[in-house]
Amino acid sequence: MSRAVRQTPHQDRTAEGIRTPPSERRRLASLSELESAARAALGKEAWTYLDAGAGCETTLAENRAAFDRWHLLPRPLSGVGEVRTTTEFLGLELATPLVTGPVGTYSAFHAGGDVAVARAAQRCGTAAIVPVLSSYSLEETAAAAPGAAGIFQALASGSEEGFVELAHRAQAAGYAVICLTIDAYPRGVRDRIASTGLELPEDAFAANFGGDIETEIGRHIELGRDAWSWTTVRQLIDEIDLPVMIKGVLTPETAEAAVAAGARAVMVSNVGGRQLDGAPSSLEQLPDIVDAVGSAVRIAFDSGVRRGTDALKALALGAEIISLGRTIAMGLAAGGEEGVVASLKLVHEELVTSMALCGIGDVGTIDTSILQGATRPTIGNQGSPR
């Protein structure tokens, strides 16, 4: 069954027409300043929506604490000159292993939304994971930033025909990879968000479905009650031509099921601590997942990454690309497209500096030898096909 692409409220101001106001073009000098600027730009409700997690926010805190349990070992006089960060992932050539994550309500933080994020990613030579719940259609975002809109996110809910239709639209628009998020529904209990009652802006339109985002989120929550199975995923992967990355993998068993279903990549993620409170941190689970499936699929990572040193630790533990969510949303809130460029550059520059200080000249050679912690896994990036 096919569905025509709906007209969106942005028809009178096309994606090409969005520009960052001059007041938003000031340079953000540090990641701490980025967060302060985002908080200042947003009201209490929008900031809480960006910042909060599920339940008592135990997993949200654990995502950050897990990075602190690992230490980076400096290697002075290592002879590292120029640092190389270019990499390849499922056919995408990237200037940095940092990509922008699929935050489904970017328009709550800035009117530029996903178009501004994708344009910023393109300027930085990397990819955007474009969310299905967006105020811009997947075609609009791809047209605005064809060099970055390489990965399209879909949700494991709703009709199988609807998923296949979205995948075919994404392929026609030029996307190279489908990112299937499997842990978005049922929606986690988010106490702090519920207490503020975020109201999305009037133009927060679910352009890929032709309705407002709040209605579409509610619809998917209901559809998510009719849960897909791994059999469903396997059948749907067989029906589309693009490689599929499964997002929401937090155990070796889930990773192995994704491989068996035909996934070409998995993203180790707990949705930034926004779904199941009490779940382990993504970083804690990463080594076991890489050990279990790293020779069979590509490995992506998200949840808890705020700085370049965080990204370096995740890369050392076996990730190949790092998806940034909250940091990108903060950049968008602080300065639109320019703010996202600043956030990507700040994290990337810290990654490059930290690599050099650890004696690493190429992102493809990062391994656990640069880490010291309570436990020392035996795996490294050598376990993942590059």
pLDDT tens sequence across 161-181: 989 999 999 999 999 999 999
Question: What CATH number should be reported for the domain holding residue 160?
Answer: 3.20.20.70
Residue 224 domain-assigned? yes
Give the tokens for residue 11.
């028809």
How much of the chain exceeds pLDDT 70, in percent? Answer: 81
Alpha carbon separation from 261 to 116, 184, 232, 244 (Å, rounded): 34, 19, 9, 10
Q: 43 with 31: CB under 8 angstroms? A: no
Residue 142 domain-assigned? yes
Residues in the chain: 386
With vertex at residue 92, the alpha carbon angle to CA 250 and CA 13, rounded to the nearest 5 degrees, is: 95
- pLDDT by residue (tens digit) across 50-89? 887 777 888 988 999 999 999 999 999 998 889 999 999 9
Residue 93 domain-assigned? yes
Residue 216 domain-assigned? yes
Residues of the domain holding 80: 27-381
Going through 48-150 in order, the beta strands assigned E by DSSP cover 70-72, 87-89, 92-94, 98-100, 129-130
Number of domains comprising the chain = 1
Residue 18 domain-assigned? no
- pLDDT by residue (tens digit) across 293-330? 999 999 999 999 999 999 999 999 999 999 999 999 99
For residue 226, what pLDDT band results from cuts at 50, 70 and 90? low
- For 211-229, letters b (16+ CB in 10 Å) and e give ebbeebbeebeebbeeebe
Helix %, strand %, coil % for the chain, to 5? 45, 15, 40
Q: Is the peptide bond before 186 cis (omega within 30 degrees of 0)?
A: yes
State how far Cα 376 lies from the chain centre. Answer: 27
Cβ-based neighbours of 232, under 8 Å, separated by 6 or more? 156, 160
Instruction: For the chain, state the CA radius of gyration.
Output: 19
Residue 15 domain-assigned? no
Whole-angstrom distance between the N-terminal and C-terminal Cα of the chain? 37
Residue 264 domain-assigned? yes
Residue 5 domain-assigned? no
Give the tokens for residue 164.
């296949």
